[in-house]
């Protein structure tokens, strides 16, 4: 692969043989069924990428490492922004609600979480109480005012919507950036730290 996978990308090609010997049975079954794994934020050895294996139950999540050479297919969250499915669920209604609004913003956005997983793979992951998880590529700063406007739009949807802003230095939660907090939590592969400006994390309070 030319480009290294990014957090929230879905990858195909990992097999049960790539799991550790003590991996839970549900993880083995998930990979044996051909399910993708999701890229997570963590450091990995050269030639490997940190991933998460997803099970049926919410608590069934396993951190693992996948050989980059084993990747046979990769789907990014933004590739799913206009994918639909016929399941009559609040999370899908919410996606249809916000899709035109986000398209009109001109930013690159995508679908992650259970909705992204099911839309990309066809494996059932969404349910009646699912949240809609979104990502927004933000190479340039989004003001707190813009963030609050987005939150207000999302709060009119039929289910909870959570969005991560993907800055060049890591990810920050939209709702946290929209809040009045002086510092917000910025997460990347190296650490999670409280910063004043997620687009300029070196800037710290005196």
Domain assignment present for residue 204? The answer is no
- 82 and 171: one domain? yes
- Clarify whether residues 84 and 136 are in a common domain: yes
Query: Looking at 75, 95, 127, which one is the last position of a domain?
Result: 75
Within 10 angstroms of residue 60's Cβ, the number of other Cβ atoms is 13
10 Å CB burial of residue 99 (0-12, 13-18, 19+) is middle
Helix/strand number for the chain, H first, E second: 5, 11
**pLDDT-based confidence at 202, cuts 50/70/90?**
confident
- The last residue of one of the domains, among 75, 102, 128, is 75
Query: Is the pLDDT confidence value at 187 over 90?
Result: yes
Q: Which one is catalytic: 103, 133, 155, 197? A: 133
- Domain-ending residue, one of 75, 94, 119: 75
The answer on 144 and 187 residing in a single domain is: yes
Asked whether residue 201 is domain-assigned, the answer is no
Same-domain pairing of 31 and 103:
no
Residue 11 has pLDDT above 50, yes or no: yes
Together in a domain, 30 and 87: no
pLDDT in tens, 155-183: 999 999 999 999 999 999 999 999 989 99
Q: pTM value?
A: 0.91
SS3 151: helix
Q: Which residue has the tokens 């990747």?
A: 71
Catalytic site includes residue 133: yes
pLDDT digits (tens, 9 = 90+) for 64-115: 999 999 999 999 999 999 999 989 999 999 999 999 999 998 889 999 999 9
Residue 104 appears among annotated catalytic residues:
no
- Which candidate, 151, 54, 168, places its Cα nearest to that of 112? 54
Residue 2 included in any domain: no
Q: How much of the chain is helix, strand and coil, in % rounded to 5?
A: 30, 25, 45
| pLDDT tens track for 118-167 | 999 999 999 999 999 999 999 999 999 999 999 999 999 999 999 999 99
The residue to which tokens 């009045």 are assigned: 180
Q: Is the pLDDT of residue 205 over 50?
A: no
pLDDT at position 204: 59
Q: Which residues make Cβ contacts (< 8 Å) with residue 145, sequence separation at least 6? A: none
Given the residues 131, 155, 162, 197, the one annotated as active site: 131
Query: Domain limits at 120?
Result: 77-195
Question: What integer pLDDT is reported at residue 191 of this predicted model?
Answer: 86
């Amino acid at each position: 692969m030319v480009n290294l996978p990014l957090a929230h990308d879905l990858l195909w090609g990992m097999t049960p043989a790539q799991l550790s010997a003590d991996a839970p049975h549900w993880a083995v079954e998930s990979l044996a069924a051909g399910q993708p794994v999701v890229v997570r934020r963590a450091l990995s050895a050269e030639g490997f990428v940190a991933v998460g294996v997803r099970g049926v139950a919410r608590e069934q999540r396993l951190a693992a490492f996948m050989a980059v050479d084993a990747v046979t297919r990769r789907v990014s969250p933004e590739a799913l922004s206009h994918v639909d499915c016929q399941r009559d669920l609040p999370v899908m209604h919410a996606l249809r609600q916000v899709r035109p609004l986000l398209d009109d913003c001109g930013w690159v956005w995508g679908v992650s979480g259970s909705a992204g997983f099911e839309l990309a793979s066809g494996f059932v992951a969404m349910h009646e109480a699912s949240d809609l998880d979104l990502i927004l590529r933000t190479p340039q700063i989004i003001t707190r005012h813009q963030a609050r406007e987005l939150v207000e739009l999302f709060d009119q949807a039929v289910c909870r919507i959570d969005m991560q802003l993907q800055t060049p230095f890591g990810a920050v939660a939209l709702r946290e950036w929209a809040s009045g907090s002086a510092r917000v939590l910025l997460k990347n592969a190296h650490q999670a730290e409280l910063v004043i400006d997620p687009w300029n994390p070196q800037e710290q309070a005196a």
